Structure 1
Amino acid sequence: MSGQPVGPTRSDPPRPDPPRPDLATLTGVRSGKGSYYRAYVRSDERLQQAVRAMDSISRALVRTVQGPRGLLEEVVRAVGTHLAAEWVVLALADGQLPGARPRFLVLHRDGVPVDDERLLPPPVRRELGAVRAGHARHTDDSGWVRVPMSLEGRPIGSLAARHGLAVDPEPSDLSVLRILANQAAVSLHTSEQYQAGVALHRRAQRVYDEAQAQARDLALRTDELRRVEQRLLLAHQREIVDAERHRIARELHDSVTQYVLSAGMQLEVARGELAALGAGAATATVSVATAKQLAAQAVEQLRRAIYALSQSSRDTVSTLPELLADVAEHHRGHLKVQVRVEGDVQGLPADADHEIARAVAEALFNTATHARATRAVVRLRYAPDELRVHVADDGCGDPTTLSRVLRVQRTDTSGRHRGLANIESRVLELGGRIAFRRARLGGVRIELRVPLPIDLPATAGTISGLLDTAASATPRPSVPPVHDHPGSTA
């Protein structure tokens, strides 16, 4: 038997072929239940819908400029798509997050989100009323499904939908709805905080506006009080100055005028005695007659001064332009004077007003007496940082000559010929300077420049000296008058 070949014999049965693999075995989708694959497909579709819902919510989260409404609209749309819902209702319970807006949002399958309850059909209004009342139910027989909106563990409202699914929503669907509801709760809470911040901001703005209005009113009242104080100060100054003017007028009338009159009478007696001496005293007689005439003129000037001093100062004279107008008025009898003011008039200390006015008066007197002028123009110009006063005339003066005369007067200690030096000293005490120019009128222009604001020195001036009743006040040194010598060149 060892030499015979080994192989199948007719008596052996045939072997069966191995089984061929089918598609169901390869994919693993094979079950005794025919609905297994359909369930898998439906679950996958639900998962894809949930992913799309989360994606729409993520896009809505970055739309912060639109406020919470944009996110809430994305939430109700995502719920409507996920559950194929006919109606979706998102609402806060009454008393929860009172500052949040909107309080509810309803979406129809074919419409847009609305927040007007009057536009809803009765079934939806009933569901909305149930959510507002705080009823916590998840499903019912009418096809509504609801999940609560929670914030820090407490319910603040609900997200409800009337789904259009063939079967009831699964637990995964409810999980998606809870995620969406909580996102809406956080957004509404943020909305309330934002509204509270806006309300606080408006309240703060309102308080700030009221404070600003009160500050403006206080500033106006302060300005009014300052003006009243200035008027009272000027009235007090005028009262004191008027009293001093009347006292000086009485002194001139009772003493100086009487002495001058007596001198004139004695000159008349001397003239009669000289006339009796004959031709030898003719020259002396002429001199005495001239002296008598000068005495008569002096009496007339004294009477005018007494009359002027007896008149009370006008209540309207309170600013430098008005003081200059008053000075010009006194010179209009022998000189045509114009006063021009440029710029916004600024209040100056009383001493500064009067010192500048007296300096202009000195300049006008020199113009009328020594320059043989017929016309003068006083120009007052207010600049932000400087006060300029120009006194121009049409006389025969020369700027170079006036500058030389001023240099001489600075060193003159005799008390005479100090008109220009007195003008300069007044301006220097105010921190200013003086200059001489050729005027367009043909004569001389005296320029006074004083920096603003004016810082008066500690030494009391004319007006402040009158007002100062303290025993320690330092009196202002007397200044010789500018027009005490008819031969002065100014």
Structure 2
Amino acid sequence: MNVDGQAPGSGTDLGALTGLRSGKRSFYPAYVRSTERLERAVEALDGISRALVRTAEGPRALVEAVVRAAAEHLRARRLLLAVADGALRAARPRFLLLADDVLIDDETMLPADVRAHLAVLRTRPWEAESADGGDGWVRAPMTLDDEPVGGIAAQPGTGLEVADTDLAILRVLANQAAVALHNSYLFHSATRLRGRTEQLSEAAARQAKDLAARSAELAETQARLVEAMQRQALDDERHRIARELHDSVTQYVLSAGMTMEVCRAELAALGDPVAEIAGRLAAAKDLNRQAVERLRAAIYALHHTTDEPPGPLPVMLERLSTVHLRSDLEVRVRVAGSPVPLPPRAEQSLLRLAGEALFNAGAHGGAGRAVVRLGYRPGAVVLSVSDDGTGEPAQLRRALRLCRAADLSGRHRGLANMLARAEELGGTLSIRRARLGGIQLRVQIPLPVPTDPEIADDE
């Protein structure tokens, strides 16, 4: 230690804090005073540390803690901390006065002498350094990055001698207040930005979810549009075929029937020699009538395949019993269980299975009665068509096996198509003897049914 009481190269603040100028015994009273000041300095620094850890509570709590720590150190009756105009723009409050343990931040409530010091700290912070301005006040500047940004002005307690140590403590408090105010602003700004970022992230997630939902809706709409266009093309073709059947084939069949009726009448007039031929013509007339009925049913079906209002499968089965059939085939539809919605193409496939079975019962089995049963079970849908015709289950099963292996003539393709439809729905097809005496064709489809099965068209 040199004669001035400072280590070589140490700063002026360290000397001010210790207050020592000599180590001689003759300076013992000064040593005692310096010890007391050092103790007060340590207490003030402890107050600074307590103030700095309150940064997260907000700028005002920090300013209040610094003001109280500085006032306690100087035993000040009044102490003012202020931020210069244009500096630390986000700092709030811009000034704070502690007077008689009351905090004031309303400028209209400030005494005149305090306003004078506030003006210096606001407009001329570089002039804030003052040990005694002649009015009993002391000032210390507040700096940040070596730039004055405000200061502290205090009216020390009576009998307190303000030394360089005290001014150093005020400078430390003021500077730390400036740094802490800036850090508090950055902390709260980062908190707000983080909250805003989280809000934007949540909004982006919601928008992404909404966009995914809208994309799915768009894809579904496009699929429906394509399906509608395909159905429209099929409807147009069906209508064209229906017109052709009505305008040409049906007229030819009707003309043939009328010709046979005329011939039969003429033969009947000739007497017994041609009675047998007349009887054959009567059978041919009956076949002609059945052909006309089937043509009309086909024309009706072609015109109403998609134009009829849609309905559940039981309703469509009831409608089926009125078309595609001989007039002398009696059909009953029975439904068991609680109906469940099925995919449209699955219902269409089951409907075609029933239609094909009824057609076979009337056309090939010579049936007069048929029963269509639709059963809804917990894990499956069962559709069966029974008739009282002359069909043989074993013969049909054998024909179906041969048809699947190789059917060059195209016979029994209806059975093959029915089996293909059942398998494409994940189900099974069985042929057995019906209680009515004829054939029972039974299809069982597991639930849930595939939503978009590939249904084969009748060939």
TM-score by length of 2: 0.69
Contact between 2:332 and 2:372, CA under 8 Å: does it hold in 1?
A: yes
1:189 aligned partner? 182
Q: Does residue 330 of the first structure (1) align with residue 337 of the second (2)?
A: no
Map 1:24-423 to 2 at 5 A.
37=29, 40-63=31-54, 65-111=56-102, 113=103, 115-117=105-107, 120-121=110-111, 123-135=113-125, 136-137=127-128, 138=130, 139-201=132-194, 204=197, 208=201, 211=204, 215=208, 222=215, 225-226=218-219, 229-230=222-223, 232-269=225-262, 271-272=264-265, 275=268, 286-310=279-303, 313-314=306-307, 327-328=316-317, 330-333=319-322, 334-336=331-333, 342=340, 354=345, 357-366=348-357, 370=361, 372=369, 374=371, 376-377=373-374, 390-392=381-383, 409-412=400-403, 413=407, 414-423=409-418
Distance 2:316 2:134 in 1: 106
Question: Which of the residues 407, 415, 428 maps onto 1:434?
Answer: 428
For 1:130, give the aligned amino acid. V
What are the superposed Cα offsets for residues 331-370 of structure 1, whole Å, 9 maximum, x if unpaired?
1534447797647x88xxxxxx557613432235526874
Distance 1:142 1:395, change over 3 A: farther
Distance of 2:393 and 2:96 partners within structure 1: 94
Match of 1:474 in 2: none
Q: Give the AA of the match of 2:243.
A: R
Tell me what 1:425 maps to: 420
1:26-48 per-residue CA deviation (whole Å, 9 max, x = no partner) reads xx9986x9xx64x5554433322
Change (3 A) 1:230 1:337: farther
Which amino acid counterpart does residue 74 of structure 2 have in structure 1?
Answer: L
Q: In 2, Cα distance between the equivalents of 1:122 and 1:146?
A: 17
Shift of 1:226: 4.6
Q: 1:250: how far off? A: 2.0
Encode CA deviations 1:103-153: one digit per residue, 9 max, x unaligned: 334333423x55454665554455334322243222422322221121111
Task: Say whether the 8 Å CA contact 1:97–1:192 is kept in structure 2.
Answer: no
- Superposed CA deviations along residues 152-202 of structure 1, whole A, max 9, x for unmatched, are 111122122221141441001111111222221211121232244345445
Gaps in structure 2 of 5+ consecutive residues: 1-22, 323-330, 362-366
Percent of pairs identical after alignment?
A: 42
Tell me: CA distance 1:446–1:228, structure 2 relative to 1, closer, same or farther (3 Å): closer
Cα separation, 2, equivalents of 1:105 and 1:252? 101
Q: State whether residues 373 and 393 of structure 1, in contact with CA within 8 Å, keep that contact through their aligned partners in structure 2.
A: no
SS in 2 for 1:98: coil
CA contact (8 A) 1:68 1:188 kept: yes
Q: Distance in 2 between matches of 1:288 and 1:418?
A: 31
Instruction: Please identify, of 212-221 and 158-167, the stretch whose mean Cα deviation from structure 2 is larger.
Output: 212-221
- Whichever residue aligns with residue 123 of structure 2, its letter is A
Shift of 1:80: 1.2
SS of 1:97's partner is coil
Tell me the distance in 2 between the aligned counterparts of 1:364 and 1:167.
114
Q: Cα 1:446–1:420, aligned 2, differ >3 Å: closer, same or farther?
A: farther
Cα deviation for residue 409 of structure 1 reads: 1.4
Q: Which amino acid aligns with 1:47?
A: L
**Deviations, residues 417-476 of structure 1 (Å, cap 9, x unaligned):** 44453133235557x4436699xxx995631568756486xxxx88xxxxxxxxxxxxxx
Cα distance, 1:450–1:29 mapped onto 2, change above 3 Å? closer
Contact 2:91 2:185 in 1 (8 A): yes
1:446 paired residue number? 444
- Residue 5 of structure 2 is matched in structure 1 by none
- Structure 1 residue 286 displacement after superposition: 4.7
CA distance in 1, matches of 2:208, 2:394: 53
CA distance in 2, matches of 1:301, 1:98: 94
Shift of 1:402: 8.1
Aligned residues: 405
Amino acid across the alignment from 2:416: A
SS of structure 2 residue aligned to 1:140 = coil
Task: List per-residue Cα deviations over 1:183-236 (Å, max 9, x = no partner).
Answer: 212111212322443454455456556655765675576566556645643553
1:279/1:448 CA distance change after superposition, 3 Å:
farther
| Farther off after superposition, 181-190 or 136-145 | 136-145
Q: SS of 1:411's equivalent?
A: helix
Aligned partner of 1:446: which letter?
A: Q
For the 8 Å contact 1:100–1:189, the answer to whether it is kept is: yes
Letter in 2 for 1:330: R
